[in-house]
Structure 1
Amino acid sequence: MTAAPAERRARAALTRVIEPGDQTGGHWLRTYGPVEVARRLAGEGEPLPGVTAKRWAGLRIRAERMRPEADLATARDVGVRFLCPGDAEWPAQLDDLEDARPIGLWVRGRPSLRLWALRSVALVGARSCTEYGAHTAAGLAADLSARGWVVVSGGAYGIDGAAHRGALGSHGATVAVLACGVDRRYPPGHRALLDRIGEQGLLVGELPPGDHPTASRFVLRNRVIAALTRGTVVVEAAVRSGALATARSAGRLGRFVMGVPGPVTSTLSMGVHELLREQAVLVSDAAEVIELIGTMGQLAPRKSGPLLPRDLLGPVATRVLAALPARGAVPPREIAREAGATEDEAIGRLYELHSLGFVERHGDGWQLTRRTRDVSARTSHGA
């Protein structure tokens, strides 16, 4: 299925008039349809309800810029296509935004946005990130990409850029959702990165060719990132970070919300930690992310410390070793009593432990070797 040509032109026109996320505009589209909304905004017929006369006048002025045929032709010339609800490539999960759903999406890149979005995860965070944050985001993105997941972010400096680079560096799939026209390279310092995403992945935006970003458009762009993906991971964020808005939007939409912890002394981790207290699940690697957003049974392996020689001991030998005091030699009878074993069992296990270098004999008594005492001391202090 594809949208009718008249509806496609009307929706393309309205992306120049109605701001992203405008729920009044979304209500008009649902009630009257895009063709009728575009006709009314062009001055044909009565004003649409729900706005003041002043706001309607402002929208009418903006409507003078509607030029759908020119915008669609410009888009085609630079390899950009315009998607509408009802198109085969339209990601159905965006419909969860209801009246805040995008009017349409301008897309640059060859892959299918619908197919990629089905197996995607958002990685977002601070623009002024730390080296720890950039390293973590890039590593997570690379590992997720290697496991067949699409990494979605906002194309901005900091965590966004690190996530995109991590995915590209592992020859994986990545999508940048922009707060401007997808033919623009913003921010300027990411010109080469955005061009590479457009060639290897997808650039997606709600605004028509040439349109510029604003502060409000960055915030509203975040709802698309949240709705498009299976879950959102916040890598690093201060308490007023826009990345937290993405995560909370994901939570409202029933998506998974995840956070990567950082140093408690870092202001750029305070927002993540607050999110973890509220609703997010703590994750530290790709396997833990996939355990949440993947199919049933994709469990992350349990983490454990390195295997120690004493981990290979049998239960009686373990109890005998534990029964030996830190200092001084002890006769087998006392060791057996502490270990809950017979004296013969204790002696047999002591000789086994002696052959492994855990204990040594002094006359009629046994004691820990110096190496074993040192290891036990480090373990008891958490080293």
Structure 2
Amino acid sequence: MTVTRQDDVRAAIASLLRIGEPGDGLLKRLVDGIGPVAAHSIIVAVGRGETTARGAVQSLAATGTEAAEHGQMTEAIDRWAVRAGETETSGNDLDLIARIGGRLVIPDDDEWPRMLDDLGPAAPLGLWVRGAASLNTVLSRAVAVVGARAASNYGTKCASDLAWDLASRGITVVSGGAFGIDAAAHRAAIAREAPTVAFMAGGVDRFYPAANAELFDQILATGAIVSETAPGMTPMRHRFLLRNRLIAASSQASVIVEAGWRSGALNTARHALELSRQVAAFPGSVYSASSTGAHKLVREHEAELVTCSDDVIALMDDGAPAHFSATAAAGASENGDRPSSFDPREALDEREKICLNALTVSKPLDVGTIASRAGLTIAEALSSLSALDLAGLAERRDTGWVKLHKSRS
């Protein structure tokens, strides 16, 4: 069988997904700079003792690779090299995923969901996928429905009704496959015979929680189970939190149905806000601890209060990013004018996009913090912030810079 360059890229990304942790910005920076095959080769060479991490960084610097300028790159390569050695003896993840009817979806594939690219330096290198649904199709119009694991009967009813109504209108329900609100949303979409997508914190070959195995089997029939972590990897707290950014990025709106003061669903809402996605919350009883987090989002004007699918759909249609809409992506009119739904983010260069992703909606950040988050110099960050300000995507406040939830008209 002939091995193509595409096969080499896919194999390299498969290994890198096991070598690195989800959302590893340094690994993404290296891959963006030299490509997945070269990045993997360097890490493996260090792991075999053929070179040192310091020597590898010096070689990268000599070729003008920007990733080599990061002060923690040497330490990171050493860390990845340890896992690279383990990867070489653990078997082929591509073979394993094929045996269970799954696949690895990478950015070069037609199935790749382009909305995840908004994560910038935190975008995944690839996604392990099981299920009948094509990601780019089912996520073209999607809503995340998330909330408490220990959900009340009221919360479960709200989630079920919302997911049923959204599914009946051709909108994909996205969630995390957990107990409570997540499971209620998935089950309602399945009952409506509509696709639903579950993002997992562990490998797609190991359903978690195991008690929801029957639910996951039902999701596979028409939807998809997706994970950034390699097959066999176990869910861990930090992986749940990082998984939440994928739920937020894949959806036009994130709806918090029921969430306590420290609920993980609030983390999903935070990611959605940082991506300038719509965030909504269902009201609960003022006496219910399960709704304190949702009420906090509404009180601090970070979420819109909603009570039904019509409210959510109205939010979705209010300034949605272009890659969620086929009509917006159709391009300019016949006379060459920009479409009325033109997204100003499309005109940004790479550094400006990275800088935008480093900003938050709710907390002003100083330039030094923004530069560190984005992996830019102070001068580059200032230049990018000026461009974002002119585009109406960011604004300087007394204590720093914030991302604007909607661009200024």
After TM superposition, the structure 1 = structure 2 runs for residues 60-139 of structure 1, keeping only pairs within 5 Å, are 60-67=81-88, 70-139=92-161
Cα deviation digits, residues 211-235 of structure 1 (max 9, x gap): 1110000000000000011110000
Q: Please tell me whether the aligned partners of residues 3 and 85 of structure 1 are also in contact (alpha carbons under 8 angstroms).
A: no
The correspondence for 2:41, drawn from 13, 32, 39, is: 39
State the partner residue of 1:373: none
SS in 1 for 2:178: coil
Shift, 1:57, TM fit: 3.1
Shift, 1:38, TM fit: 0.7
Does 2:283 match 1:281? no
Does 2:212 match 1:181? no
Q: TM-score, normalised on structure 2?
A: 0.69
SS in 1 for 2:107: coil
SS in 2 for 1:58: helix
State the partner residue of 1:237: 259
Looking at structure 2, the residues matched to 33 and 56 of structure 1 have their Cα atoms a distance apart, in angstroms, of 15
The correspondence for 1:6, drawn from 2, 8, 16, is: 8
Q: Please tell me whether the aligned partners of residues 153 and 175 of structure 1 are also in contact (alpha carbons under 8 angstroms).
A: yes
Looking at structure 2, the residues matched to 17 and 127 of structure 1 have their Cα atoms a distance apart, in angstroms, of 30
CA gap of 1:141–1:43, structure 2 versus 1, over 3 A, is same
Farther off after superposition, 169-178 or 287-296: 287-296
Shift, 1:3, TM fit: 7.8
Partner AA of 1:280 in structure 2? A
State the partner residue of 1:318: none
Looking at structure 2, the residues matched to 20 and 268 of structure 1 have their Cα atoms a distance apart, in angstroms, of 29
Size of the alignment, in residue pairs?
295
Does 2:257 match 1:224? no
Looking at structure 2, the residues matched to 182 and 125 of structure 1 have their Cα atoms a distance apart, in angstroms, of 22
Shift, 1:200, TM fit: 2.3
Cα deviation digits, residues 240-276 of structure 1 (max 9, x gap): 1111111111111111110001001111101001111
State the partner residue of 1:150: 172
Q: Please tell me whether the aligned partners of residues 3 and 87 of structure 1 are also in contact (alpha carbons under 8 angstroms).
A: no
Flag structure 1 segments of 5+ consecutive residues without an equivalent.
Answer: 297-383
Partner AA of 2:261 in structure 1? V
> Which structure is larger by alpha-carbon Rg, 1 or 2?
1
The correspondence for 2:227, drawn from 205, 217, 226, is: 205
Looking at structure 2, the residues matched to 30 and 148 of structure 1 have their Cα atoms a distance apart, in angstroms, of 35
The correspondence for 2:315, drawn from 292, 300, 309, is: 292
Looking at structure 2, the residues matched to 99 and 217 of structure 1 have their Cα atoms a distance apart, in angstroms, of 17
Q: TM-score, normalised on structure 1?
A: 0.74
Looking at structure 2, the residues matched to 236 and 47 of structure 1 have their Cα atoms a distance apart, in angstroms, of 49
The correspondence for 2:80, drawn from 59, 70, 77, is: 59
Partner AA of 2:258 in structure 1? E
Shift, 1:294, TM fit: 3.5
CA gap of 1:207–1:200, structure 2 versus 1, over 3 A, is same
Partner AA of 2:309 in structure 1? A
Cα deviation digits, residues 34-70 of structure 1 (max 9, x gap): 1111111112553444427655433211111335972
Partner AA of 1:61 in structure 2? V
State the partner residue of 2:162: 140
Flag structure 2 segments of 5+ consecutive residues without an equivalent.
Answer: 58-67, 320-409
SS in 2 for 1:27: helix
SS in 2 for 1:237: coil
Shift, 1:126, TM fit: 0.8
State the partner residue of 1:361: none
Identity of paired residues, percent?
A: 43
Q: Tell me the C-alpha RMSD between the 2 structures.
A: 1.8
SS in 2 for 1:121: strand
CA gap of 1:198–1:3, structure 2 versus 1, over 3 A, is farther
SS in 2 for 1:264: coil
State the partner residue of 2:406: none
Looking at structure 2, the residues matched to 3 and 146 of structure 1 have their Cα atoms a distance apart, in angstroms, of 42
Shift, 1:9, TM fit: 0.8
